[in-house]
Amino acid sequence: MIGTSSLAGTVNLGGLVPDKCRICYSSRIAFTNLGFGLRSSYQDPKQSSEGSRMDFARWIGCFNDPRVKKGRKLEVDSVPGGEDVWDSKSSEPKFPEHLVVMVNGIIGSAEDWRYAAEQFVKRLPDKVIVHRSECNSSRLTFDGVDLMGERLAEEVLSVVRRRPGVQKISFVAHSLGGLVARYAVGRLYLPIPDSEASVDSGNFLSEEHMSPRKSLGWHREGRVAGLEPMNFITFATPHLGSRGNKQLPFLCGLPFLERRASQTAHWVAGRTGKHLFLTDNDDERPPLLLRMVNDSNDLKFMSALRSFKCRVAYANANFDHMVGWRTSSIRRQHELPKHHVLVKDEKYQHIVYVERENEHSHTNTTSHIEGQAVDLEEEMIRGLNQVSWKRVDVSFHKSKQRYIAHNTIQVKNYWMNSDGADVVFHMIDNFLI
């Protein structure tokens, strides 16, 4: 297991945030909300998770969602690195074949996906088994996207080994977790040739691990962790990083604040801060997020994404103070839907726009951000648009929970973020089984 970051201390931006920016009434609170929390507030994730489970058990009796089928009981198995959830009526012959891996964001934990995981199993009984990852929780999220991705890849393989009956795999990730999941699938990806699968197994999948699945058949798209890739879904993920105009909205688009954040992010969030602001230059190589929009010799980032049958990017169109609309929806500024086309869905009241076709795959238009960020952002957009994305725009404009939209979009805590439930149901209703 890779250790936690050794960086310590707090960051005080002092007078960098102007009074007129009400959202940033305190830089201390702003960084804490972003996930760049105070190191001294760290708690053992196992203790925190256990306490949250006890609290949830006390609360669940007074929660009644009419949209969820009644009478379903869940099996919950606490395992090293996370928690598995499935329908208690599933028996060995009919054990769910579809593994859904849920990944938390910065300073998060497996608890962040508790509500969504339970709705998944209740609405798709006998269909899915949900694993809520916790290998990258709390301060471990400061270790960098690559180290977190390696840990997630190892954890996924351990789950697959424990559940030999699973045949399909999907990922659902929030915020930073989306970048971690993209790295992990690049590590877990294997091309198809079934005769070569056990030989070209990289560092993770040996013949011993793969042999039980050889009889399942191999598809041209390849496999992820030895399973058939189905859905890759992200919620408010900074796919283009946090560098550039309004990509980190709580800085209010002020250039001098954005420059200072880029220079100091690593003081707060360690290697992760460098990766998010594209200031990493390990061995004089390009920034990691830029490398992740192409395949390399040992990591097939885009081949892995392409192997999934469905890729979806949920993005907050407004009131997300941590992740901008462009970076979470993988668009250029002029490609964002105009206000007049944002229409509330009758069934899912906070879904305001769905772009089903990848309209931006081969466009050569550039963005208008100053400096090097132009080239980096444009290159990442073009790279990620080598595959098609379904973009789903979300707005909590009229919600009382709009100022915490970054957490509401995933229903991080039902008692604070319940308005995001319809977004979770939209994901489940459109999930490929």
pLDDT tens-digit readout, 389-429: 999 999 999 999 999 999 999 999 999 999 999 999 999 99
The predicted pLDDT at position 87 comes to 86
Residue 77's CB is within 10 A of a number of other CB atoms, namely 13
Within-domain flag for 10: no
Residue 313 lies in a domain: yes
Tell me the three-class secondary structure of 218-230, residue by residue: CCCCCEECCEEEE
Percent of the chain at pLDDT above 90?
53
- Answer whether 141's CB lies under 8 Å from 272's CB: yes
Residue 7 lies in a domain: no
The boundaries of the domain holding residue 124 are 23-61+73-429
* Per-residue confidence (pLDDT) for residue 259, from 0 to 100: 67
- Whether 2 maps to a domain, the answer reads no
Is residue 17 one of the residues assigned to a domain?
no
408 lies in some domain: yes
**What domain count does the chain have?**
1
Residues 6 or more apart whose Cβ sits within 8 Å of residue 66? none
| Residue 25 confidence (pLDDT) | 36
Cα-based distances in Å from 243 to 104, 263, 308, 322, 425: 21, 10, 28, 12, 31
Residue predicted with more confidence, 78 or 272: 272
DSSP bridge pairs for 337: none
pTM for this predicted structure = 0.77
Helix (H/G/I), strand (E/B), else coil: 190 = strand
Pick from 94-98, 249-253, 276-280, 402-406: least confident: 249-253
- Residue 249 is predicted with a pLDDT of 73
CATH code for the domain in which residue 261 is found? 3.40.50
Residue 109 in any domain: the answer is yes
Residue at 3 is within a domain: no
